[in-house]
Amino acid sequence: MSGTARELARSPVADAPIHRRAFRSVDEFVVEAFKAARRIGRGDGAELAASLRAAGLRCGASLLAAAAAGPRASAGLAGTLRDGRAALLEARYALYVARRLGMLDLRSYRGLADRQDAALRDLEGLIRASASDDPG
Write the CB contacts of 112 (distance below 8 Å, at least 6 apart in sequence).
29, 32, 33, 36, 95, 104
- Give me the mean pLDDT over the 121-129 stretch: 87
Q: What is the DSSP string of 56-92?
A: HHHHHHHHHHHHHT-TT-HHHHHHHHHHHHHHHHHHH
- Report helix, strand or coil for 15: coil
The pLDDT value recorded for residue 91 is 94
pLDDT digits (tens, 9 = 90+) for 1-38: 455 445 444 444 445 677 788 889 999 999 999 999 99
pLDDT at position 133, please? 58
- Exposed, middle or buried, 136 (CB in 10 Å: 0-12/13-18/19+)? exposed
Which pLDDT value is given to residue 34? 94
Whether the model pTM is above 0.85: no
Give the pLDDT mean for 46-71.
86
The more confidently predicted of residues 52 and 16 is: 52
**Alpha-carbon distance 82 to 127, whole Å?**
7
Average pLDDT over residues 42-56: 92
Least confident of 10-14, 46-50, 105-109, 116-120: 10-14
First to last CA, the chain: 35
Average pLDDT along the chain: 82
